[in-house]
Amino acid sequence: MAKSNFRPLHDRVVVRRVESEAKTAGGIIIPDTAKEKPQEGEIIAIGSGARDEAGKLVPLDVKAGDRILFGKWSGTEVKLNGEDLLIMKESDIMGIIG
- Domain map of the chain by residue range? 12-19+32-96
Closest CA to 46 of 10, 76, 17: 10
Spelled out in words, what is the top-level CATH class assigned to the domain 12-19+32-96?
Answer: mainly beta
Strand (E) positions, the chain? 12-17, 40-46, 50-51, 57-58, 67-70, 76-80, 83-89, 93-97
Entry pTM: 0.76
Show pLDDT as tens, one digit a residue, over the chain (98 residues). 445 678 899 999 999 998 765 555 676 766 655 556 668 999 999 999 999 999 999 999 999 999 999 998 899 999 988 999 999 999 999 999 98
